[in-house]
Amino acid sequence: MSLLCLMAGAALATLTLPNDRFTLAWTHSVEKQVWEEDYRVGAMGLTLEEARIHGSGAGMEPGPDAALTADGWWRYHPQRPPLPELTLAASDFTADYRICVEGRCQRLAELIDPGPRSVTLKPCPRSTR
């Protein structure tokens, strides 16, 4: 079991992950296509394991190793080091981010009220557990 910390200003919320994985999903502001990223929470941070784009368009170029699958998703595996944290910008012009755990998704605002601020995701320190 892992804990994911969500921070917006002074607000802090924790999300219990039955394993160490979650999916971040959102809809592109211009192209209105769904984008999903699968992350693993670890001691070094958040590791992006797979990204998927349902369609393509301006600002939505899939990675160079992307493959279009029969279900209409471009899937690829970015090779990046773990991120200590991931900051999500707040916008009044787009739908809310969704965090999915084992197929169950919740809007970010259901987990923490970002107000006009951005939300930062990061592994919770051991003292939070």
pLDDT digits (tens, 9 = 90+) for 11-40: 899 999 999 999 999 887 666 788 899 999
> If 0-12 CB within 10 Å is exposed, 13-18 middle and 19+ buried, where does residue 123 land?
buried
Give the residue-averaged pLDDT of 64-78. 91
User: What stretch of H or E contains 27?
Assistant: strand 21-27
Radius of gyration of the CA atoms of the chain, in A: 15
- What average pLDDT is seen over the chain? 87
User: What stretch of H or E contains 109?
Assistant: helix 108-111
Residue 84 is predicted with a pLDDT of: 97
This prediction has a pTM of 0.89
